[in-house]
Chains A and B, each alone.
Chain A
């Protein structure tokens, strides 16, 4: 008998505190497996955001720093500049990166800082109870847009496309974890983003279309279908910059 698949050693044994079916778990796993594959064990510093993933420091088996809301790219800049030989990654949600932290991410990308950002886009504020996020789809009902996002709330921010207009970033991609094929593609993109950092190519960001079954009021499987059928129409998957 041989083990084909088991929990990555870059994840701790602490049970994840996410809701059942939340794809944060899948992305944590992909990041952990990537770190294991590039032999980064003992040489990684992660940045935990504010949001559902705030406890990421309990789950990743590496040094972690939890930062103020949206400031992960600023903190990652400092850590990477002081420790250029370490692998530094920021793990951020959509409310964190595309709302309160827009300035930080745009300027970190513009400077082409040599770290990796994993951006979880689930189109809602999960931890605070399902309020409208900058990435909420037009027509999507949330607690602060109970009749669906409309003219009053504006249109969703497409951060990856926005950053692709800058000269600083070296790799920008949008992937999803809605089915096994897309999970494999997501893993490939995340690995590329980390390898870019190892090779000193500069700023890399992977946006992962993710689910929030609890606040979308769906079952986990329905939520994955929603990502596949609805979210990808507004947020097309693909590589937006690779140089």
Chain B
């Protein structure tokens, strides 16, 4: 399954990834904050296509994108 990993401590909750995800799979957490007190972005879906647009737009390079290999 393709997905993204968001480095919690690097995320500043700017929500740029939320706005640019073409499938709108990322949302801001309503319960989780990091050590700096920022509400962080999170991915709660298994439909990610690993297009990496979120990672490209993330100003803090907090997102790592992994893609499932074709069988």
Contacts and interface: CB of A to CB of B under 8 A. Distances in A.
B12 A20 contact: yes
Interface stretch (A8-16, A127-135, A163-171): A8-16
Interface in A1-34: 1-8, 11, 15-16, 18-26, 28-29
Given A20-B14, A179-B20, A220-B15, A26 B53 contact: no
Contacts, number: 82
Given A180-B20, A221-B15, A1 B69 contact: yes
A25 B58 contact: yes
Given A180-B56, A183-B56, A221 B67 contact: no
A5 B68 contact: no
A229 B67 CA distance: 34
A228 B67 CA distance: 31
B16 A224 contact: yes
Given A20-B13, A21-B16, A219-B15, A11 B56 contact: no
Given A183-B56, A183-B57, A4 B16 contact: no
A7 B61 contact: yes
A2 B67 contact: yes
Interface in B48-71: 50, 52-53, 55-61, 63-69
B64 A7 contact: yes
B16 A1 contact: no
A19 B2 CA distance: 30
Given A180-B57, A220-B15, A221-B16, A5 B64 contact: yes
A220 B65 contact: no
B29 interface: no
B9 interface: yes
B14 A4 contact: no
Contact of B65 (A3, A11, A29, A183): A3
A2 B52 CA distance: 13
22 contacts: A2-B69, A4-B55, A4-B67, A5-B52, A7-B61, A7-B64, A15-B9, A15-B10, A20-B14, A20-B59, A21-B15, A25-B60, A25-B61, A26-B57, A179-B57, A180-B20, A180-B56, A183-B57, A184-B56, A219-B15, A220-B14, A221-B19
Per CB-CB distance, the 4 closest pairs between chain A and chain B, nearest first, are A25-B59, A21-B14, A20-B12, A20-B14
